[in-house]
Amino acid sequence: SQTIHQWPATLVQPVGSPLSLECTVEGTSNPNLYWYRQAAGRGLQLLFYSVGIGQISSEVPQNLSASRPQDRQFILSSKKLLLSDSGFYLCAWSDGLGYTFGSGTRLTVV
Amino acid sequence: GENVEQHPSTLSVQEGDSAVIKCTYSDSASNYFPWYKQELGKRPQLIIDIRSNVGEKKDQRIAVTLNKTAKHFSLHITETQPEDSAVYFCAASISGANNLFFGTGTRLTVIP
């Protein structure tokens, strides 16, 4: 069966520090991978999606970047965090039949 | 990309009553419309979905209706229970279950 792992679960980082969130998927090949951000009390904003290794599409201009070094690995990064980067980050994968979300990372930038 | 609007943002109902959440979408090419339930601090979970070739779909107490002409779809929960309390998100996609664009969510509170 397919599973999705996302870590860490919570993170507190100072402004200006770097960020790396990782997401891995098991039990499937060539999935579409996504990063969403959910600000407090708000909806899910699509940040990046990837249809294959090295292929990244960005939906909104921002302080973040994404990479897909392996088929089932998706990484969200930042060189310098801003206060506005705080939020709940969700990784998801899709095989065209449905979405499965990771358990999320709650990032607080202080 | 697609623009999905959802309302109301908050909804309180008495236990046993029905709840209705409505969404509109902008891209007439959208063909997949799922609904997700997110409990506090947890990941969104798919509860029901509908594709553009169907007008209505029902699963026990939950139903979704789709009006392609008006570009809106709705979630109906009947006989609500306290455990239905959560945030509900609608979403739409033009490419099946890929590249979902989500509404802003509805916080449903079921009052015992």
Q: What is the pLDDT of residues A65-100, one digit of tens each?
A: 999 999 999 999 999 999 999 999 999 998 877 788
Residues A6/A103, Cβ–Cβ less than 8 Å: yes
Task: For the beta carbon of residue A29, count every other beta carbon within 10 angstroms.
Answer: 8
- Strands B56-59, B4-7: pairing kind: unpaired
Residue in A36, A98, A104 closest to B97 by CB: A98
User: Cα(A66)–Cα(A23) distance, rounded to whole angstroms?
Assistant: 11
User: Cα(A60)–Cα(A41) distance, rounded to whole angstroms?
Assistant: 19
**Inter-chain CB proximity B43 and A101 less than 8 Å:** yes
Residues A47/A61, Cβ–Cβ less than 8 Å: no
Residue in B34, B45, B102 closest to A43 by CB: B102
**Inter-chain CB proximity B44 and A97 less than 8 Å:** no
The pLDDT of residue B53: 86
For residue A46, the chain B residues in CB contact (below 8 A) are: 1, 99-102
Tokens of A77: 């990064």
The pLDDT of residue A61: 66
User: Cα(B105)–Cα(B112) distance, rounded to whole angstroms?
Assistant: 22
Count of alpha carbons within 13 angstroms of residue A38, beta-carbon side: 27
Residues B80/B94, Cβ–Cβ less than 8 Å: no
User: Cα(A67)–Cα(A110) distance, rounded to whole angstroms?
Assistant: 25
Q: Give the strands of the sheet with A65-70, arranged side by side.
A: A3-7, A19-26, A73-78, A65-70
H helix or E strand, kind and range, residue B60: none
CA angle B54, B59, A41 (to 5 degrees): 90
- Count interface pairs A-B at CB distance under 8 A: 56
Does position A63 have pLDDT exceeding 80, yes or no? yes
Residues A92/A76, Cβ–Cβ less than 8 Å: no
- Give the model confidence (pLDDT) of B71-111 as tens digits: 999 999 999 999 999 999 999 998 776 788 899 899 999 99
The pLDDT of residue A28: 85
The pLDDT of residue A39: 77
- To test the contact with chain A by mutation, choose from B46, B98, B104 the residue with the greatest count of A C-beta atoms within 10 A, namely B98
Burial of residue A79 (CB within 10 Å: 0-12, 13-18, 19+) is: exposed
